[in-house]
Amino acid sequence: MKGFIVYQDYEIIENQTHIKLFGRLENGQSFIAVNKIEPYLFIKDEDLAKAKKYLEKFKVEKTPLTTFNSKKVTKISSNIHTELSKLSSFLHKLEIDTYESDVKPAARFLIDKDILGTIEIEGEYESSERVDRIYRNPIIKPASYQPKLKIASIDTEWDKKSGELFCIGIHSENYKENFIITKEKFNHAVPCKSEEECLEKFKKALLKLDPDIITGWNIINFDLFYLKKIADKYKMPLDLGRTDENTRLRIESGFFRSSSADIPGRQVLDGLNLIKDPFIKEAPSIKNTKFASLSLEDVAQAILKTGKLIKGKKRHDEITSLYNKDNQKLIDYNLLDCKLVYDILEKTNIITLAIERSQLTGMPLDRITASIAAFDSLYIREARKRGLVSPATRFGQKEERIKGGYVQDAEPGIYNNVLVLDFKSLYPSIIRTFNIDPSSFLEKKEKNAIESPNKAYFKNSQGILPDIIQKLHEAREKAKKEERELANYSIKIIQNSFFGVLASPNCRYFNLQMANAITHFGQFIIKLTAKKVEDAGYKVIYSDTDSIFVETALEKDKANLLGKEIEEKINNFYQDYTKTHYNRKSFLELEFDKQYLSLMIPQIRKKGKEGEAIGAKKRYAGLLENKGKEEIEIVGLEAIRGDWTDAAQEFQRELLNLVFHKKDPSSYIKSFIKDLESGKIDSKLIYRKSIRKELEEYTKTTPPHVKAARQLETLDSNIIEYCITTEGPEPIQKLKHHLDYEHYIKKQIEPIAQQILSLLGKNFEDLAISSKQAKLF
């Protein structure tokens, strides 16, 4: 029977470490597999004599395994995981290195069996009140299938002043029920006599529903925290899992530290935290979706085009009023909130995305974005297949900064028919091409070694990391052919995370020279590529980490053909180059990405004695043609930055549109200033800025958005909306004074206008003065 692991843990039972794997079987039943294991670590054979007297109560076995630098190792085992942890700490004090001593028991079991989330399970089983199948020491093997997990979205309502519970709602597939303290009967509601009965009936219904994932909006800090308080008040267990263990909460204060909940056998995935996560925000199903704030109302409106039944800042007072006067509407409101979160997860495929990533890395659903742990999971198992053991994590500080990618000083200007060519997955390609790999790293140069531009050396063979990337690459190509967009995206993110992992001192494989070898190769390749293009007679006006921008003096169709020609020539060049210089196959792949019909690179400063103009890095805008339609693409400029007003963004987009179509923007600028000063666009002069720490922590400086936030009694969101008035910043909820139009012209309009006017040989001040004179007469 195939199954998907939802939750993993371990327990000491009768002086023996047991792994507990909970999940959902392909037949729809829930399961738990309990397996005995013998945890272990390794030390070098040469350290055995020094450690011998401390190993008397442990099992000691010689092995054919070695460290990365070919030192033989001995396996030290114990029935009890905690005893090994104590031993490891003690050996470190004796300056004896341990290997894989920090791998947790559940991860150890899954790595040793080469399991990545999905299993084949065989053995006798029994059932219990909370789990359909209980397996004891079953045979478990890796398997592959697409699971369908059960999700339950919950929400609570209560009196904000007294803390009195009103009701608890649950929404799942083909299920919705509200547990409300009332004597009457209502649709989709279970009447309860007291808070205690309400919690008990809710718990009973949830256990019967048996979800794999419990979700909600800010569910940990809000709903579960409150339910835990009620349970404690009545001395009741809040045992919502597949065991009778209590729910454990770790509550963090502040917007940017995520709280966590541990419900044995299930996962708690907070809808708010999922939407905030960078991995999720860039997913195909949600990318480019803009949220006015991260409130459930705003996110639901953006994704589902619908929202809450009761909105606004005073909805808590209305909720209390409904409890006293209209229970059915309160029930409907509560259940709709549950449904909105459930529908957001369904519409965006967030859970499917999480499962895809879990099956690729072996990480639990609540840790899919833990890139270092995911790297460990993949690398340790592949190293073992080659007879190698991995070092334990020993935290330390980076002495130097990692070298970044190369970004050429851009030449400011407005260009026509510019070609953009990108290296596909440059850093993963470099790792594969030059065998950059922890197990292949050499302390000094050896015969036939690969030498990186920063003088790091690697064995000229096939390393572990290049092999992992190769397998992921093949899986990604397969996903593309099968049009599995989520799998394609998941693999891309995992591949691209590898450099960041190797560059982190928290990684067990961290090595500054090795990490810098990747970026130095990146710089070398992008510079060499630019040189080869310029040797062919074309001008590279800008290059940025993995791409080059080539100016052509050709018309659109001929420029397009040139892009494909450059792509082919550069790729052939690198095949020859890596074969000749490194005796390696090149996996570097330059791709003609797009052609800008017009490109604007703004000027930021002048340098040198002659006052040479310097273009902004990672800041430009270009006019593209896509399926016969023109569109403006913007990178790094104000029009796509959330901390600039709608007015500024609209202003910049129209300026670019005029310039790209060779029209003088002067009259538009004057007209825009006139509209601004007359109050016609006041609704577009709102700033939106995130609070990134508690308000009282802003001590050295007090930014405008913090000054505005401090004028509010409570914060309903970490995003503050405010305007600059003649009396300073004021939140939109408490606007008292006239807007400071001079501020908006000086700080929002002028900088954007001047970027373009300077390229046209014009000056904003001259236009502004001209506008004022026209007004006088």
Note the pLDDT of residue 268.
Answer: 96
Question: Which secondary-structure segment (H or E) carries 9?
Answer: strand 2-12
The number of CA neighbours under 13 Å toward the Cβ of 744 is 32
> Distance between alpha carbon 163 and the CA centroid of its chain, in Å?
35
Note the pLDDT of residue 407.
Answer: 64
Q: Which of 142, 174, 207 is the last residue of a domain?
A: 142
Note the pLDDT of residue 627.
Answer: 78
**Residue type present at position 739:** L
Q: Are residues 131 and 7 in the same domain?
A: yes
Q: 197 lies in a domain?
A: yes
Average pLDDT estimate for 667-681: 93
Tens of pLDDT, residues 9-19? 999 999 999 99
Q: Which of 396-400, 430-434, 744-748 has the lowest mean pLDDT?
A: 396-400
Strand residue runs (E) in 568-646 = 590-601, 603-607, 612-615, 620-626, 629-635
549 neighbors 599 (Cβ within 8 angstroms) = yes
Tens of pLDDT, residues 264-305? 999 999 999 898 887 787 788 888 788 878 889 999 999 999
Evaluate if residue 777 carries a pLDDT over 60: no
Evaluate if residue 256 carries a pLDDT over 80: no
Q: Which long-range contacts (CB under 8 A, 24 or more apart) does 609-614 make?
A: 613/411, 613/412, 614/409, 614/410, 614/412
- The mean of the pLDDT values for the chain is 90
CA distance 144 to 378: 17
Note the pLDDT of residue 312.
Answer: 73
Q: Are residues 563 and 425 in the same domain?
A: yes
Average pLDDT estimate for 180-198: 95
Tokens coding 664: 């003088």
**Residue type present at position 638:** E
What single-letter DSSP state applies at residue 388? B
Enumerate residues 6+ apart whose C-beta is below 8 A from 123: 135, 136, 137, 138, 139
Structural domain boundaries enclosing 654? 643-776
Provide the number of structural domains found in the chain: 4
Strand residue runs (E) in 694-748 = 719-725, 728-731
**Residue type present at position 636:** G
Per-residue pLDDT band for 92 (boundaries 50, 70, 90) equals very high
15 neighbors 65 (Cβ within 8 angstroms) = no
Average pLDDT estimate for 651-660: 94
CA distance 166 to 158: 5
Tokens coding 21: 């794997």
| 230, 234, 238, 239: CA torsion to nearest 10 | -160
pTM: 0.85
Note the pLDDT of residue 775.
Answer: 45
CA distance 80 to 36: 11
439 neighbors 68 (Cβ within 8 angstroms) = yes
Q: Are residues 277 and 128 in the same domain?
A: no
Evaluate if residue 400 carries a pLDDT over 70: no
Tens of pLDDT, residues 430-484? 999 999 999 999 999 999 999 999 999 999 999 999 999 999 999 999 988 988 8
Looking at the chain, how many residues does it have? 777
Query: Which of the residue ranges 23-32, 486-495, 641-650 has the most confident prediction, judged by mean pLDDT?
Result: 23-32
Q: Which long-range contacts (CB under 8 A, 24 or more apart) does 318-322 make?
A: 319/157, 319/166, 320/159, 320/160, 320/161
Average pLDDT estimate for 502-524: 92
Enumerate residues 6+ apart whose C-beta is below 8 A from 466: 431, 432, 435, 436, 437
Q: Are residues 491 and 584 in the same domain?
A: yes
Could you tell me which of 569, 536, 572 has the C-alpha nearest to residue 551?
536
Q: What CATH code is carried by the domain that includes residue 313?
A: 3.30.420.10
Evaluate if residue 662 carries a pLDDT over 50: yes
Q: 366 lies in a domain?
A: no
> Distance between alpha carbon 415 and the CA centroid of its chain, in Å?
35
Q: Which of 579, 597, 625 is the last residue of a domain?
A: 625
CA distance 239 to 276: 28
Q: Are residues 492 and 557 in the same domain?
A: yes
- Helix residue ranges per DSSP H, 554-703: 556-582, 646-660, 666-677
185 neighbors 191 (Cβ within 8 angstroms) = yes
Q: 399 lies in a domain?
A: no
Question: Which secondary-structure segment (H or E) carries 375?
Answer: helix 371-385
Counting beta carbons within 10 angstroms of the beta carbon of residue 658, is it exposed (0 to 12), middle (13 to 18) or buried (19 or more)? Answer: middle
- Rg for the chain, CA atoms, rounded: 30
In percent, the amount of the chain with pLDDT more than 70 equals 94
In percent, the amount of the chain with pLDDT more than 90 equals 72
Q: 382 lies in a domain?
A: no
Evaluate if residue 234 carries a pLDDT over 60: yes
More confident of the two residues 771 and 333: 333
> Distance between alpha carbon 509 and the CA centroid of its chain, in Å?
22
Evaluate if residue 368 carries a pLDDT over 90: no
Q: 556 lies in a domain?
A: yes
- Helix residue ranges per DSSP H, 584-740: 646-660, 666-677, 704-709
CA distance 267 to 117: 14
Tokens coding 675: 């509209």
Q: Are residues 186 and 109 in the same domain?
A: no
Query: Which of the residue ranges 206-215, 369-378, 508-517, 533-542 has the most confident prediction, judged by mean pLDDT?
Result: 206-215
More confident of the two residues 610 and 551: 551
Q: Can you state the angle between helices 464-481 and 485-502, rounded to 10 degrees?
A: 160
Q: 400 lies in a domain?
A: no
Per-residue pLDDT band for 608 (boundaries 50, 70, 90) equals very low
- Helix residue ranges per DSSP H, 386-463: 426-434
Per-residue pLDDT band for 316 (boundaries 50, 70, 90) equals confident
Q: Identify the residue whose tokens are 């802003």.
A: 698
Average pLDDT estimate for 50-76: 95
Note the pLDDT of residue 292.
Answer: 77
Per-residue pLDDT band for 257 (boundaries 50, 70, 90) equals low
Evaluate if residue 255 carries a pLDDT over 60: no
* CA-to-CA separations, 497 to 473, 494, 728, in angstroms, rounded: 14, 5, 43
Evaluate if residue 515 carries a pLDDT over 80: yes
Work out the number of other CB atoms within 10 angstroms of the CB of residue 641: 12
Average pLDDT estimate for 409-433: 92
Q: Are residues 159 and 277 in the same domain?
A: yes
HEC per residue, 229-254: HHHHHCCCCCCCCCCCCCCEEECCCC
Evaluate if residue 773 carries a pLDDT over 50: no
Q: Which of 596, 625, 654 is the last residue of a domain?
A: 625
Q: Are residues 472 and 598 in the same domain?
A: yes
Q: Are residues 335 and 464 in the same domain?
A: no
Could you tell me which of 407, 413, 403 has the C-alpha nearest to residue 617?
407
409 neighbors 481 (Cβ within 8 angstroms) = no
Q: Are residues 120 and 161 in the same domain?
A: no
Tokens coding 422: 């990108």
Tokens coding 745: 């012209």
Q: Are residues 518 and 425 in the same domain?
A: yes
Q: 738 lies in a domain?
A: yes
Average pLDDT estimate for 601-608: 66
Q: Are residues 173 and 64 in the same domain?
A: no
Q: Output phi, psi for 412, to 5 deg.
A: -65, 150
Work out the number of other CB atoms within 10 angstroms of the CB of residue 189: 23
Q: What CATH code is carried by the domain that includes residue 472?
A: 3.90.1600.10
Q: What share of the chain is helix, strand, coil (3-state, %, to 5)?
A: 40, 25, 35
Q: 45 lies in a domain?
A: yes
Note the pLDDT of residue 314.
Answer: 74
Tens of pLDDT, residues 371-397? 999 999 999 999 999 999 999 986 555
Evaluate if residue 646 carries a pLDDT over 50: yes
Tens of pLDDT, residues 155-175? 999 998 888 999 999 999 999
